[in-house]
Chain A
Amino acid sequence: DAMVIQNPRYQVTQFGKPVTLSCSQTLNHNVMYWYQQKSSQAPKLLFHYYDKDFNNEADTPDNFQSRRPNTSFCFLDIRSPGLGDAAMYLCATSRGGLDRNYGYTFGSGTRLTVV
């Protein structure tokens, strides 16, 4: 089945130690998104890639960066994780553009714990 896969499912990192979360898709979607979700709050968009174009949300901290080396993969890098960065990180994809019948597909998420 075509899908969005996030690895790892659970990640524990030390305060201040860089960490990378990964996302891959087999949908060949143009757009890949990273959302941060804390304690059953609404997911908050951090940034997205539309093809190779990177788009950062205005309030995303500089501590968060992303890479998309090809259509299938997208990475979230947290340069110096703080305790406040502990959250569920959700990757999602969509075709974008003017397709009203698009599929917006989420991965299962990576739960990040900072110790």
Chain B
Amino acid sequence: GDSVTQMEGPVTLSEEAFLTINCTYTATGYPSLFWYVQYPGEGLQLLLKATKADDKGSNKGFEATYRKETTSFHLEKGSVQVSDSAVYFCALTLIQGAQKLVFGQGTRLTINP
């Protein structure tokens, strides 16, 4: 079945450090890929998305590139801030029917000042 695997957390970094959170997927079709962010006590917010191979999604300094050859969608940011502390979820959906989201297990990120 379709699945998403994220690097295990938690991840702790210092402010201004470089961030990478790895995400790989398995899908029977041709998915769209997403990163969602969840701040403490909040719902999920879409951070960025990519709908076809080689697309780069970007938002708020975060980037991720849809790599079909390696079935990956790694999240990167060049210089993290304390306000980036949250849980990050990689997800996919197949573009058909109800487009159900399949989530990775989430990675908790803590940025220390």
Q: A residues bordering B, Cβ < 8 Å?
A: 6, 31, 33, 40-43, 45, 48, 50, 55, 88, 90, 92, 94, 96-102, 104-109, 111
Query: Can you name 29 A-B pairs with beta carbons within 8 Å?
Result: A31-B98, A33-B100, A40-B87, A42-B103, A42-B104, A43-B44, A43-B89, A43-B103, A48-B100, A50-B97, A90-B43, A92-B44, A92-B101, A96-B97, A96-B98, A96-B99, A97-B96, A97-B97, A97-B99, A98-B95, A100-B32, A100-B95, A102-B99, A104-B34, A104-B46, A104-B99, A105-B46, A106-B36, A106-B43
Report A-chain residues with C-beta under 8 Å of the C-beta of B44. Answer: 43, 90, 92, 106
Residues of B within 8 A of A98 (CB): 95-96
Chain B positions within 8 Å of A, measured between CB atoms, are 32, 34, 36, 38, 41-46, 51-52, 87, 89, 93, 95-101, 103-106, 108
What chain B residues lie within 8 Å of A94 (beta carbons)? 98-99
Residue of B at shortest CB range from A40?
Answer: B87
Cβ-closest chain B residue relative to A55:
B98
CB distance from B92 to the nearest CB of A (A): 11
Whether B105 pairs with A42 at a CB distance below 8 angstroms is yes
A18 → B minimal CB distance (Å): 24
Chain A CB count within 10 A is highest, among B98, B100, B108, for B98
Beta-carbon nearest neighbor of A94 in chain B: B99
Contact across chains for A48 and B98 when beta carbons are under 8 A apart:
yes
Distance to closest chain B CB from A22 (angstroms)? 15
